[in-house]
Chains A and B, each alone.
Chain A
Amino acid sequence: DQQVKQNSPSLSVQEGRISILNCDYTNSMFDYFLWYKKYPAEGPTFLISISSIKDKNEDGRFTVFLNKSAKHLSLHIVPSQPGDSAVYFCAASARETSGSRLTFGEGTQLTVNP
């Protein structure tokens, strides 16, 4: 049972344009969501997070949007840069019941073309 899903395995955008990565979840107990960036043969790097009491969180070029009713979140990167090319993982936790335990999506490979 895949509780966190990233339906797009890959995304390609032009440098300077917006990248939008999507994530859906099924567990209504999830109350904290995170995005990680990962390069091959390296561990994930934390990018940005959002609590379920918010619908938007912004940090520089990265903005995460949360739609609780739709159980959907998205990561916007603008403007996209070639160095953003990596695999992006969406993750979720149910802090009340499971503490720090994270459930990851399958990842989306983002390629930003110069």
Chain B
Amino acid sequence: GAVVSQHPSWVICKSGTSVKIECRSLDFQATTMFWYRQFPKQSLMLMATSNEGSKATYEQGVEKDKFLINHASLTLSTLTVTSAHPEDSSFYICSASKDYPVGEQYFGPGTRLTVT
């Protein structure tokens, strides 16, 4: 159990357009989902934490108007990159957390976004 999927796995878009990435927990209910981005050869940087039915909590330096997060159900969270620019090109990874044990997250396979 504890499978998390992401869609799409990769996307190429033009500068100025918006892109939506979906994160689903397939076999468990995730009250909390997390969104990370990773630049080449760097660590995973937490962007935001989302709890089902409430507003996401963004990390310092992350623009909430640019990275819109919606956690509409216990199995689905979406990240929308609005008005994407080339510097938004990155690997975006989501994770989902069960209630117990606290601290254990299950990660999706990631989405490679390239903005041209």
Contact = CB atoms under 8 A, between A and B. Distances in A.
B110 A43 contact: yes
* Interface of chain B: mostly helix, strand, loop or mixed: strand
Interface residues of A, number: 23
B107 interface: yes
Contacts of B67: none
Interface residues of B, number: 26
B106 A105 contact: no
Contacts of A41: 91, 109-110, 112
A104 B105 CA distance: 12
Interface of B: 4, 6, 32, 34, 41-46, 49, 91, 93, 95, 97, 101-110, 112
Interface of A: 9, 32, 34, 36, 41-46, 49, 89, 93, 95, 99-107
